[in-house]
């Protein structure tokens, strides 16, 4: 029986890390993969989602609805930001990094001034279950299932709906899409909003497990960037397998040496991966498809 | 820029004005001016890496912090006698520069481009911050130097100049001001020469069109790595001087906010010319200092807004744009 417990513990650690990486990088990967824009305000969209979720949760909304509110709020903010700033910078991707960084500074400090250094959160729901000598949070298992569901629904959205076809066309050949009557500006705006909404969703999902501070976005940002770098531009053949690989590395290093070595291991993995395959995992896998 | 009599006249006038400045000012403002000059090395380094070579690095503070800690460890262990602090300075700048070369090697020989470089460098600096923040226990010590985790490291000696009849200790003040002024001028002239030489031209060629530069037979990976190493060494110099100036360094000097600041200075000041970078960053740092005194909470918001404004309206930077405007007006009046 002990053997089974060990296996479950390892699987649980892996699932936890995998869910965190997938959920926190999905928004970033959509915006980067679809638009080629690195959104350094990603962490602030996550923070926005988390704050709205907590506020809604404390106002009495059931948690799933509150999380949806958080995602929606972040998506709306994302569309506004795209219209005001990002829209002017599609020709200058490097400058768009700087601009989104400026937005992130404003957002972090603005929230600190308006709402104070910390905010009351909502408790982790669903309690925990005991197995062998250790206990496991059930909510973390729900998060793992959610991350799988998220990947599935993104796949359906991009490969089985009209919006997906139009957005992929806009990404691949913007001029041709425009000639065929696609409103590419609207597609870019919606895609950015979708990415921001996914970031908000990440914030909402992890809101019950974290302390609410204005700088909480920073806890996500390294992991999500690392996943996107290792994955490359495609979210399905890139980010998802990258998250799996990195989750194995992080779960095992964390289990043996502690949290810090998990993070350092991630960084070393990134540097090695990009030295070996410059296009990330998706570039590497695509070479085999040809 | 950097050639011809008008450049040297302007340069000499500026240096003269800067040398006379302490005679007309109180010690507090002189100390402040010295503090601004500490940061200019990092700004110039980023100017080379980003403005000239077209590589946007978010990780300059990684080299800054690493060198700051290295100075602390070396100088605490060696002590300040016989001007040994300068050996510590040289060692820590070398460590910072070597680390930058290593990271640069992996990035450029790995053919990482554009936005990915920003992400990798940002990750490096954030991981270093996390690492230093957890070195709190008594087991984290190198020789006599304790790293002290999140509280930061303190107690290292400031820079000292050995002098007959008692060493000159460079606390914040006029002596430090002049030493830093000399360093800034030497560093600026050196970079000016380097950038006017073929090396600088190749960097600009790579920025404008990497493929073309490669077709012309230049190993762009080598040039990019060298430029990145140089930028890292300059950031390391800033870190060392900062640590020696305040006798204090914390992990948060590598955090997200700290990493944003050099980008703000260089972007707002101007990055396409090392002169604009130097003057612009001094102005922006001074402005930021004033803001922090009069409304510390809002300083970061103003910075962020300034960054967004600069990117949207004057992509070349405020100082560069102003300099171009003045230049073209002068030319028109001459005619």
Characterise B158 by phi-psi region: left (phi > 0), alpha (psi -120 to 50), beta (else). beta
Report DSSP state, residue B156: P
Residue from A25, A98, A274 to probe the interface with B (highest B Cβ count within 10 Å): A98
Give the per-residue pLDDT at A132: 64
- CA A29, CA A70: separation in Å to the nearest integer? 19
Cα B20 to its chain centre, rounded Å, is 25
Give the per-residue pLDDT at A288: 66
Q: What averages of pLDDT result for each successive group of 10 residues across chain A (290 residues)?
A: 74 82 84 80 88 84 85 90 83 80 86 78 70 72 84 84 83 81 83 89 84 80 79 72 79 71 74 70 66
- CA A104, CA A218: separation in Å to the nearest integer? 10
Q: Which of A208-222, B32-46, B162-176, B222-236 has the lowest mean pLDDT?
A: B162-176
Report DSSP state, residue B305: H
Candidates A215, A216, A217, A241; CA nearest to A228 is: A241
Closest residue in A to B258 (Cα–Cα): A105
Q: How far is B46 from chain A (nearest CA, A)?
A: 14
Give the per-residue pLDDT at B98: 92
Q: Sorting pLDDT into bands at 50, 70 and 90, what band is B165?
A: low
Give the per-residue pLDDT at A233: 67
Whole-prediction pTM value?
A: 0.80
Residue A90 with chain B: CB contacts under 8 Å: none
Write the residue in A38, A92, A99 that is nearest to B118 by C-beta: A38
Q: Where do the H-state alpha helices sit in chain B?
A: 5-20, 27-46, 60-78, 84-109, 115-133, 174-196, 198-208, 210-215, 220-246, 256-269, 274-294, 296-313, 318-334
Write the residue in A92, A95, A102 that is nearest to B305 by C-beta: A102
Characterise B173 by phi-psi region: left (phi > 0), alpha (psi -120 to 50), beta (else). left
- CA A67, CA A90: separation in Å to the nearest integer? 31
Give burial (CB, 10 Å; 0-12/13-18/19+) of A159.
exposed
Give the per-residue pLDDT at B233: 92
**Chain length of chain B:** 335
Distance set, CA A77 to CA A46, A165, A219 (Å): 11, 25, 21
Q: Give the contacts of B183 (CB within 8 A, at least 6 positions apart).
A: B37, B41, B241
Residue from B57, B109, B121, B127 to probe the interface with A (highest A Cβ count within 10 Å): B127
Q: Sorting pLDDT into bands at 50, 70 and 90, what band is B229?
A: very high
Write the residue in A88, A101, A222 that is nearest to B307 by C-beta: A101
Strands A134-137 and B141-142: unpaired
Give the per-residue pLDDT at A279: 66
Query: pLDDT per residue over B73-104, tens digit each?
Result: 888 777 766 667 788 888 889 999 999 999 88
Characterise B267 by phi-psi region: left (phi > 0), alpha (psi -120 to 50), beta (else). alpha
Write the residue in A94, A95, A106 that is nearest to B304 by C-beta: A106
- CA B273, CA B158: separation in Å to the nearest integer? 32
Treating both helix axes as pointing N-terminal to C-terminal, what angle do A93-115 and B115-133 enclose, rounded to 10 degrees? 40
Query: pLDDT per residue over B42-85, tens digit each?
Result: 988 898 888 888 888 888 898 998 888 888 888 877 776 666 77
Query: Does the distance separating the beta carbons of A278 and B114 come in below 8 Å?
Result: no
Give the per-residue pLDDT at A1: 59
Distance set, CA A152 to CA A12, A156, A201 (Å): 21, 6, 15
- CA A45, CA A216: separation in Å to the nearest integer? 10
Give the per-residue pLDDT at A259: 67
Query: Does the distance separating the beta carbons of B134 and A101 come in below 8 Å?
Result: no
Characterise B219 by phi-psi region: left (phi > 0), alpha (psi -120 to 50), beta (else). beta
Structure tokens at B105: 């090697």
> Contact at 8 Å (CB) between B107 and A274?
yes
Candidates B216, B229, B249, B246; CA nearest to B146 is: B249
Domains of chain A: 2-289 (1.10.3470)
Query: pLDDT per residue over B179-216, tens digit each?
Result: 888 888 898 888 888 888 888 888 888 888 888 888 88
> Contact at 8 Å (CB) between A27 and A47?
no
Cα A25 to its chain centre, rounded Å, is 3
Q: Give the contacts of A114 (CB within 8 A, at least 6 positions apart).
A: none
Write the residue in B115, B123, B130 that is nearest to A93 by C-beta: B115
* Three-state helix/strand/coil letters over B54-84: CCCCCCHHHHHHHHHHHHHHHHHHHCCHHHH
Query: pLDDT per residue over A55-72, tens digit each?
Result: 888 887 788 888 888 889
Closest residue in B to A225 (Cα–Cα): B119
Q: Residues of B near A (CB-CB distance < 8 A)?
A: 56, 103, 106-107, 109-116, 118-120, 122-124, 126-127, 130-131, 134, 256-257, 260, 263, 267, 297-298, 300-301, 303-308, 311-312, 315
Q: Residues of A near B (CB-CB distance < 8 A)?
A: 32, 36, 38, 85, 88-89, 92-99, 101-106, 108-110, 112-113, 215, 218, 221-222, 225-226, 228-229, 260, 263-264, 267, 270-271, 274-276, 278
Give the per-residue pLDDT at B168: 65
Residue from B99, B268, B308 to probe the interface with A (highest A Cβ count within 10 Å): B308
Query: Does the distance separating the beta carbons of B311 and A271 come in below 8 Å?
Result: no
Structure tokens at B96: 């910072």
Enumerate the β-bridge partners of residue B237. none
- CA A45, CA B244: separation in Å to the nearest integer? 38
> Contact at 8 Å (CB) between B52 and B203?
yes
Burial readout A220-229 (b: 16 or more C-beta within 10 A, e: otherwise):
bbbbbbbbbb
């Amino acid at each position: 029986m002990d053997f089974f417990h060990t296996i479950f513990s390892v699987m649980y650690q892996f699932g936890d890390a995998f869910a965190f990486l997938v959920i926190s990088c999905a928004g970033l990967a959509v915006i980067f993969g679809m638009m080629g824009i690195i959104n350094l305000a990603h962490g602030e969209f996550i923070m926005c989602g988390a704050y709205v979720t907590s506020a809604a949760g404390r106002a009495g909304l059931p948690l799933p609805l509150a999380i949806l509110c958080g995602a929606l709020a972040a998506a709306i903010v994302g569309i506004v930001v795209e219209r005001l700033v990002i829209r002017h910078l599609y020709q200058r991707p490097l400058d768009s990094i700087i601009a989104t960084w400026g937005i992130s500074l404003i957002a972090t400090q603005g929230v600190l001034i308006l709402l104070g250094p910390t905010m009351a959160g909502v408790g982790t729901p669903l309690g925990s279950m005991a197995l062998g000598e250790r206990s496991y949070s059930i909510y973390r298992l729900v998060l793992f299932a959610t991350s799988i569901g998220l990947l599935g629904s993104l796949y359906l959205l991009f490969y089985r709906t009209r919006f997906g076809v139009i957005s992929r066309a806009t990404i691949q050949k913007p001029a041709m899409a425009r000639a065929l009557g696609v409103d590419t500006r609207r597609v870019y705006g919606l895609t950015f909003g979708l990415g921001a909404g996914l970031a908000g969703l990440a914030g909402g999902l992890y809101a019950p497990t974290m302390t609410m501070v204005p700088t909480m976005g920073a806890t996500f940002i390294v992991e999500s960037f690392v996943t996107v770098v290792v994955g490359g531009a495609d979210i399905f053949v890139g980010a998802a397998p990258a998250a799996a690989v990195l989750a194995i590395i992080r779960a095992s290093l964390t289990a043996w040496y502690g949290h810090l070595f998990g993070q350092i291991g991630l960084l070393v993995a990134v540097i090695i991966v990009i030295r070996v395959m410059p296009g990330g995992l998706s570039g590497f896998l695509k070479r085999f498809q040809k | 820029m950097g050639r011809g009599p008008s450049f040297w006249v302007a340069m000499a006038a500026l240096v003269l004005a800067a040398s006379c400045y302490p005679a007309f000012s109180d010690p507090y403002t002189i100390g402040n001016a010295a503090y601004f000059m500490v940061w200019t090395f990092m700004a110039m380094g980023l100017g080379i890496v980003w403005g000239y070579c077209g590589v946007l690095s978010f990780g300059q503070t990684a080299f800054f912090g690493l060198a700051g800690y290295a100075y602390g460890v070396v100088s605490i262990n060696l002590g300040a006698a016989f001007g040994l602090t300068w050996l510590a300075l040289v060692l820590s700048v070398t460590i910072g520069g070597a680390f930058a070369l290593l990271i640069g090697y992996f990035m450029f020989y790995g053919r990482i481009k554009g936005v990915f470089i920003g992400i990798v460098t940002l990750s490096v600096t954030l991981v270093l911050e996390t690492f230093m923040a957890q070195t709190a226990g008594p087991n984290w010590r190198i020789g006599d130097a304790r790293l002290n985790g999140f509280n930061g490291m303190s107690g290292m000696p400031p820079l000292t100049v050995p002098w007959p009849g008692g060493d000159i200790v460079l606390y914040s003040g006029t002596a430090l001001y002049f030493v830093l002024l000399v360093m800034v001028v030497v560093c600026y002239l050196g970079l000016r020469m380097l950038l006017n030489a073929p090396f600088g031209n190749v960097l600009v060629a790579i920025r404008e069109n990497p493929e073309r530069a490669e077709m012309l037979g230049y190993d762009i990976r080598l040039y990019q790595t060298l430029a990145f190493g140089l930028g890292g060494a300059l950031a390391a110099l800033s870190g060392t001087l900062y640590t020696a100036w305040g006798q204090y360094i914390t992990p948060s000097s590598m955090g997200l906010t700290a990493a944003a600041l050099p980008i703000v200075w260089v972007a707002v000041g101007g990055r396409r010319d090392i002169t604009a970078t130097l003057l612009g960053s001094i102005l922006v740092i001074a402005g930021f200092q004033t803001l922090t005194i009069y409304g510390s909470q809002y300083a970061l918001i103003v910075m962020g807004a300034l960054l967004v404004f600069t990117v949207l309206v004057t992509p070349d930077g405020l100082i560069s744009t102003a300099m171009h405007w003045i230049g073209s007006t002068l030319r028109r009046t001459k005619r």
